[in-house]
Amino acid sequence: MTIRRRDLLRLAGTTALSSVAFGALPFRAARAAEGGPVRSLTLYSRTQAANPQQYQAAELIAQIWGELGLKVTVQALPNTQLSDVIWYKRDEWDLTMWQMVGRPERSDPDEFVYNLFHSTTAETGYNFVGYQNPEYDKAAEEQRVTADRDARRELIYRAQQIINEDQPYAFLVYPEKFYAYSGAVFDPATVTDQPGLGVKNFWTFIEITPKGDQKDLVMNSSNELNACNPFYISGAQDSWVTELIWDRVMRIGKDGLPQPWAAESVVWNDAATECTITLREGMAWHDGKPVTAEDVVFSFTAPSQDNTAPMYKPFTDIITGIEAPDARTVVMTLDQPNAAFETSTLAKLNIVPKHVWEPLLATLKPGETAESITEESRIGSGPFRFVRWLPQQEIVLEANPEHWAPPKIDRWIMRIVLNVAAGLGMMKSGEMNFMSDYTGDPELLKQAAEEDKDLVIAEAVDIGFQYAAFNCRRPPFDDKVFRRALSFAIPRKLIQNAAWNGFAALANSHVSEALPFWHDPETDTLETGVKIAKAMLEEAGYVISDGTLYYPEGKTDPFSD
């Protein structure tokens, strides 16, 4: 039976969902030997208005885990508050809904394979769940230095298999992303559909061409901007903005491969351990000062100094030497070849002005990072210049006509529209002309296109994915069996249909099927269901009694209510 989100409204508040989706599953009788009860848990999520798909999935998952004798409460927070809790209070939460979004540099799997789960990124980096596995670390490290593509794929397959076994995340779906723009305002022939990203990408924003007098691209975001900082990307919206303001040595091209950008050329020695970067001639910062090789050296050395930029440190630590023999030349040395370096380092890090950021970083106190710095002018060298940011309202960029690839639009405007229905209404009324962030029912967007023939819809399976994250630092989630049981309890097809209305691909890996060469299809065979999860818990000594889950004999919950 297929259950979609609109059907859930009818089923909400009844026992129909449990009986239809799962069947009657009697609780196992308690036995004499059992430990203490597993405490009540809080599952964090985005708010329903901002991200109805994620919130709906959270509500469903909480109900499903109730079948295992767990008491799970969903707590919805605005994105900025959610990020603050999960990112900066890593020892204080248990469960959260989360998403990894598609970005150009993630077209190489290293961005996820290393960054998400390597133990070195657990304290302050992307491994916010605190996952630790030396076998995984080894696979993640080896794939970086394996030049042979097929051999590297085997290592990335191995990394996916280890995560499949350990389940630090309960992967849910690779979303099918929907976008829309006005074909009356913009020439569709100038819009780029980039694999794994869709039409919302860097190339679209610099090449999209207005047909008439409307020269502004007005788009939406269902999330508030967390930061506009070249050393800190805390969400999708941050990345959309920073990649337009700040240039990078290389960019991910329309074909998904790295190509020189701020660099005129990137040349490797025969051993693939040294690259010589020649910068474009005549580059300038938005304040008029010239971009020099010293700026590039500073941009790639600052993140690793005193853990100044923990998000980028894993991608600069691999540089063992860097120098600027002249104003346009940078020579980088690696201790060994790195298969992902061009994509995950040269095409990822922003080039920042040394004359602006060196004094700012000098003000940091011990323990502080560049993430806490607000640089009001946001000076970059990219194709767009910063104009203003009104928190919870909008951010405005203007075209940089002095750039070697000047945009065809005058301004890039992102309006914060937290309610999905309001965003669709603004698109219909013409208040927006580019729907860049749509988390509602795709059928409603398609209906709008049927009513307005100038509305162009585009869709793509995302490089990113949606998931529920387990905090591996805290019991009971430090127990692999417990994590696996909770993950296996979730019927992915129900989540796919009920929360995403079927517009998503099932997920069980951190390497999306949007990257078919790297995605291990063996991870797609996950069998799920409450009965399977109960059997796993029972085998490990857990007991369900009177609707409550108990630890195995002799174990109690250190964080008990």
pLDDT (tens digit, 9 = 90+) per residue, 329-344? 999 999 899 988 999 8
220 and 263 assigned to the same domain? no
Helix (H) or strand (E) holding 154: helix 149-166
With bands split at pLDDT 50, 70 and 90, how would you rate the model's confidence at 560?
confident
469-527 pLDDT, tens digit per residue, is 999 999 999 999 999 999 999 999 999 999 998 889 999 999 998 888 999 999 998 88
On the CB side of 91, CA atoms within 13 Å amount to 2
Mean pLDDT, range 7-21, rounded to an integer: 39
398, 384 contact by CB (below 8 A): yes
With bands split at pLDDT 50, 70 and 90, how would you rate the model's confidence at 21?
very low
Cis peptide before 476 (omega within 30 of 0): yes
357 and 295 assigned to the same domain? yes
With bands split at pLDDT 50, 70 and 90, how would you rate the model's confidence at 7?
very low
- In a domain, residue 37? The reply is no
C-alpha distances in Å from residue 486, one per residue of 68, 293, 383, 489, 519: 8, 51, 46, 5, 24
Query: Of 312, 293, 280, nearest to 353 (Cα)?
Result: 293
- In a domain, residue 242? The reply is yes
With a cut of 80, say whether residue 132 has pLDDT above it.
Answer: yes
> pLDDT at position 474, please?
95
Q: How far apart are CA 139 and CA 161, in angstroms?
A: 11
Domain-terminating residue out of 370, 386, 412? 370
With a cut of 70, say whether residue 358 has pLDDT above it.
Answer: yes
With bands split at pLDDT 50, 70 and 90, how would you rate the model's confidence at 73?
very high
DSSP for 267-310 reads: EE-TTSSEEEEEEPTT-B-TTSPBP-HHHHHHHHHGGGGGGS-T
C-alpha distances in Å from residue 525, one per residue of 161, 422, 509: 12, 39, 11
Domain-terminating residue out of 328, 346, 370? 370
> pLDDT at position 14, please?
38
- In a domain, residue 192? The reply is yes
Q: How far apart are CA 204 and CA 219, in angstroms?
A: 13
408 and 333 assigned to the same domain? no
358 and 394 assigned to the same domain? no
271 and 339 assigned to the same domain? yes
With a cut of 50, say whether residue 23 has pLDDT above it.
Answer: no
289 and 195 assigned to the same domain? no
> pLDDT at position 33, please?
61
Query: Of 14, 20, 44, 69, nearest to 546 (Cα)?
Result: 69
With a cut of 80, say whether residue 17 has pLDDT above it.
Answer: no
Q: How far apart are CA 414 and CA 225, in angstroms?
A: 10
Domain span holding position 223: 179-246+378-459
C-alpha distances in Å from residue 101, one per residue of 58, 197, 233, 378, 466: 18, 9, 12, 24, 8
5 or 266: which leads in pLDDT:
266
Domain CATH code at residue 415 = 3.40.190.10
254 and 366 assigned to the same domain? yes
Number of residues that this document lists for the chain: 561
What are residue 345's phi and psi, to 5 degrees?
A: -120, -60
- In a domain, residue 326? The reply is yes
C-alpha distances in Å from residue 183, one per residue of 117, 420, 424: 42, 21, 16
Lowest mean pLDDT segment, chosen from 143-147, 163-167, 247-251: 143-147
- In a domain, residue 487? The reply is no
pTM above threshold 0.95? no
> pLDDT at position 27, please?
43
270 and 222 assigned to the same domain? no
231 and 340 assigned to the same domain? no
With a cut of 50, say whether residue 371 has pLDDT above it.
Answer: yes
Residue type, 170: A
What are residue 11's phi and psi, to 5 degrees?
A: -85, -15
Mean pLDDT, range 441-468, rounded to an integer: 91
With a cut of 60, say whether residue 347 has pLDDT above it.
Answer: yes
Our count of domains for the chain comes to: 2
- Mean per-residue pLDDT of the chain: 91
Domain-terminating residue out of 440, 459, 478? 459
> pLDDT at position 4, please?
43
297 and 354 assigned to the same domain? yes
- In a domain, residue 59? The reply is no
Q: Assign 235 to helix, strand or coil.
A: coil
Q: How far apart are CA 274 and CA 173, in angstroms?
A: 39
Domain CATH code at residue 281 = 3.90.76.10
408 and 421 assigned to the same domain? yes
- In a domain, residue 365? The reply is yes
- In a domain, residue 207? The reply is yes
Share of residues in the chain with pLDDT > 90 (%): 73
257 and 353 assigned to the same domain? yes
> pLDDT at position 22, please?
39
